[in-house]
Structure 1
Amino acid sequence: MRNKLVICGFAALLCSTIYSAELHSAEVEVKWQQPEKFTDIQPSNDNRKVYRERVMKKFDEFFQQLAAKLPEGYSWQVTVTDIDLAGDVDYFAGGAGNALRIVKDLYSPAIKFNHVLRDNFGEELLNEEEKLRDLGFMQTIGQNTNSNDFHYEQTMLQNWFNKVLLPKVEQHSAALPKVSQ
């Protein structure tokens, strides 16, 4: 009986955490501009369209995770215009028609996107084009231990978000007049 109560309590805590995260995050809309023409969303051993859709879904999730760090009421519109995944597909390395994605320093991840960020009053804070490339993606400590799909790309986006976008949002929030209660 006690185990059931602990499990129910944990489930309630988890649900309330998820619910509060949804309440305290920005809305994000991700659009894809001609993904079939992107520099590198090449599958190694998968259907091209299926793989492209998997990549797009994963990047949608990355942008959702980042938007969760923005203040409530903000809206963020992102249009992805190019992706170059870490590594390169070698169609001869796998032998017998099995391609492999080879990840080396030479094949760094990159992403290009346009984005518009609006505050909770609808005021446009940013309207910019970003061109990110992580040339040192293999030198970061702990990078090679994570086997998540598109880990290098996710880390590149997180680093940009934390170093560039969040400080701009915090600066804007600090400049707003304080409302007395």
Structure 2
Amino acid sequence: MKKFFLALVVLGAGLLTGVAGAGEVKVTWQDPDKYADIRPGNESRDNFRAQVFKELGQVFTDLAKKLPDDVQWSVTVTDLDLAGDVRPMMRAGGNEIRIIKDIYWPRMSFNYTMTNATGQTIAEASENISDMGFMMSRPLNVGNGSFPYESRMIEDWFQKQLKSNKFPAK
């Protein structure tokens, strides 16, 4: 029953991140059980994963709006290591909390493909991004949700791709 529920959560999260089309991106979360770290603190694993997939999927969706309308972007996330580390608390109940320290920086691995209106591939790569200086970087935006360090890491990577002309700009 738990596996069925998790499958529904993952499928639902995938649908929330969008279907490939003009100004949109299709994000696939491949084998999340094998990710380095998407462990929750004080909530259920399924709910936490759904929140991760929804919020980080929305980051990709917002970035896709900066691409020309005829570009279709497909992203397959193959690994994720959230900022911080989950540790058991030293008190009754054995709850866990996520400790954010500079030695636990965010990382993400993914593959992507961009195609134009005729279906021709215009950009394709496998990426391993990280932000070792995530606690010393520019200040976080107030509205970055529950995963501000990861959101900023993805946004910074995207901006570098635009500046280096690896991605087409609007």
TM-score band (shorter)?
A: 0.7 to 0.9
The answer to whether the aligner puts 1:134 opposite 2:131 as a matched pair is: yes
Which has the higher Rg, Structure 1 or Structure 2?
1
Instruction: Summarize deviations over 1:102-124 as a string: whole Å, max 9, x none.
Output: 10110000010000011233220
TM-score w.r.t. structure 2 length? 0.79
1:57 partner letter: K
Q: Which position in structure 2 is the counterpart of 1:164? A: 161
Point out where structure 1 has 5 or more consecutive residues left out of the alignment: 1-23, 174-181
Corresponding residue pairs, total: 148
Instruction: Summarize deviations over 1:65-84 as a string: whole Å, max 9, x none.
Output: 11011010110000000100
Q: What are the residue-to-residue correspondences of 1:103-114 with 2, within 5 Å?
A: 103-114=100-111
CA–CA separation in structure 1 for the residues paired with 2:85 and 2:143: 19
Higher-helix-fraction structure: 1
Assess, with a 3 A threshold, how the Cα gap between structure 1 residues 81 and 165 changes in structure 2: closer, same or farther: farther
TM-score w.r.t. structure 1 length? 0.74
RMSD over equivalenced CA pairs, Å = 2.2
Any conservation in 1 of the 2:55–2:145 contact (CA below 8 Å)?
Answer: no
Structure number with the bigger relative contact order (C-alpha 8 A, sep ≥ 6) is: 2
Any conservation in 1 of the 2:161–2:167 contact (CA below 8 Å)?
Answer: no
| Alpha-carbon shift at residue 146 of structure 1 (Å) | 6.6
The answer to whether the aligner puts 1:72 opposite 2:69 as a matched pair is: yes
1:107 partner letter: Y
Assess, with a 3 A threshold, how the Cα gap between structure 1 residues 145 and 138 changes in structure 2: closer, same or farther: farther
Residue identity over aligned pairs, in percent, reads: 41
Q: Secondary structure at the match of 2:25?
A: strand
Instruction: Summarize deviations over 1:9-43 as a string: whole Å, max 9, x none.
Output: xxxxxxxxxxxxxxx95231111111122110000
